[in-house]
Structure 1
Amino acid sequence: MVVGVTLARGDDAFVPATHAARPSVADVDTAAGMLYYCDVHRYEIVRQRLDGGAREVFAADGVDNCEGLAVDWMGRNLYWTDDSLGALSVARLDAPHRRALLRERSHPRALALDPANGVMYWAAWAPGRIESAAMDASRRRTLLDAELQLGPTG
């Protein structure tokens, strides 16, 4: 079960993700009424309708330890980070063919998008950085570079 809070009413909203073994991160495509989540036990990214129906594996090949996930509602893409593979990847929502935008050993984790300005932000555990780039991975820059006991996660 995935639990959220409806912003309009402020009450709990339950999405019956009954087949999830160990969901780690999730995001919602409100335009299509779809929930996307990473199942780190099954090594896959899953999508399903918000009512629990039409569950399908969105991506499994090349998914190991998905730590960040974000829907680009304007460009109709799904972005995710994979800590184990050291990758930040993207796929179209209508044709889930993965493309790795970045590959590195910095353990990319949390991910946030600003589609209106075409910018993505992510946290990397080693050496404790928060970075940004255009959503095609160009214009990459480090926003915070600090030696932390534990890297930033969100």
Structure 2
Amino acid sequence: ATALLLLARRTDLRRISLDTPDFTDIVLPLEDIRHAIAIDFDPLEGYIYWTDDEVRAIRRSFLDGSGSQFVVTAQIAHPDGIAVDWVARNLYWTDTGTDRIEVTRLNGTMRKILISEDLEEPRAIVLDPMVGYMYWTDWGEIPKIERAALDGSDRIVLVNTSLGWPNGLALDYAESKIYWGDAKTDKIEVCNCTCIFYFMKLWNVVALF
């Protein structure tokens, strides 16, 4: 399998090869990308999905930029984090304008609001479909990292201390660890997925976003 890094860089989307010595960087031939925030990939159908804050939409295309289409355009204010459930074939996203976490099928049908209470500035979101959890960051007045079941139930706060602007999230499925970048403290931190063991991984990171 080809190892790739997908990057949303505001006005373009990039596909970066991790298999080549020079890390070949290809800009996808897509139009009208104004403020891309987050990106994710569906390995089964080969679509990439991304949020665009200025267009106020969620879009998708294939890895070569073909097949571009809008997935969600209505009742969306400031779409931010996005995550593909490649098992159940659902798409999750956060909206910092409506302060909601929503889900839809990958084609934009059967849309549902999962969480709409006690959210201030929901940002990144990641999924663990095999276990049945979603994780997200919130960098509101009381910044925190939370977890809930994929249907929005069983919601708990994992981390709510020593946070500034918790931003990007990444899951290590094999080790059951969750990593996040903090754009205020300029740190990358990690804990296990229950956050019983919590420690700083890196610090003094420049320009996290």
For 1:57-68, what aligned pairs fall within 5 Å after superposition? Answer: 57-68=70-81
Amino acid at match of 1:40: D
Q: Give the RMSD, CA atoms, in angstroms.
A: 1.7
Q: For residues 58-93 of structure 1, give each alpha carbon's deviation from its aligned partner in whole angstroms, at most 9, with x where no partner exists.
A: 001121111200111111000000011110000011
Q: For residues 95-126 of structure 1, give each alpha carbon's deviation from its aligned partner in whole angstroms, at most 9, with x where no partner exists.
A: 43321100034221111111111110001112
Q: Higher relative contact order at CA 8 Å, sep ≥6: structure 1 or structure 2?
A: 1
Structure 1's unaligned 5+ residue stretches are none
Amino acid at match of 2:39: A
With the length of structure 2 as denominator, give the TM-score of the two structures: 0.68
Corresponding position of 2:139: 125
Percent of matched pairs sharing the same residue: 35
Corresponding position of 1:6: 17
Q: CA deviation at 1:4?
A: 3.0
Local SS of the residue matching 1:153: strand
- Answer yes or no: is the 8 Å Cα contact 2:71–2:107 preserved in 1: no
Q: Which runs of 4+ in 1 moved over 6 A?
A: none
Local SS of the residue matching 1:80: strand
1:44 to 45, 49, 57: 57
Local SS of the residue matching 1:61: coil
Q: CA deviation at 1:132?
A: 0.3
1:143 to 158, 165, 179: 158
Corresponding position of 2:125: 111
Corresponding position of 1:21: 34
2:94 to 81, 106, 113: 81
After superposition, the Cα gap between the structure-2 partners of 1:15 and 1:111, relative to the gap in structure 1 and judged at 3 Å, is same
With the length of structure 1 as denominator, give the TM-score of the two structures: 0.90
- Answer yes or no: is the 8 Å Cα contact 2:52–2:80 preserved in 1: no
Tell me the distance in 2 between the aligned counterparts of 1:114 and 1:5: 24
Tell me the distance in 2 between the aligned counterparts of 1:117 and 1:13: 34
The number of equivalent residue pairs is 153
Q: CA deviation at 1:23?
A: 1.1
Q: CA deviation at 1:29?
A: 1.1
| Structure exhibiting the larger radius of gyration computed from Cα positions | 2
Q: For residues 11-50 of structure 1, give each alpha carbon's deviation from its aligned partner in whole angstroms, at most 9, with x where no partner exists.
A: 4344222321221111111211111111111111111122
- Answer yes or no: is the 8 Å Cα contact 2:80–2:123 preserved in 1: yes
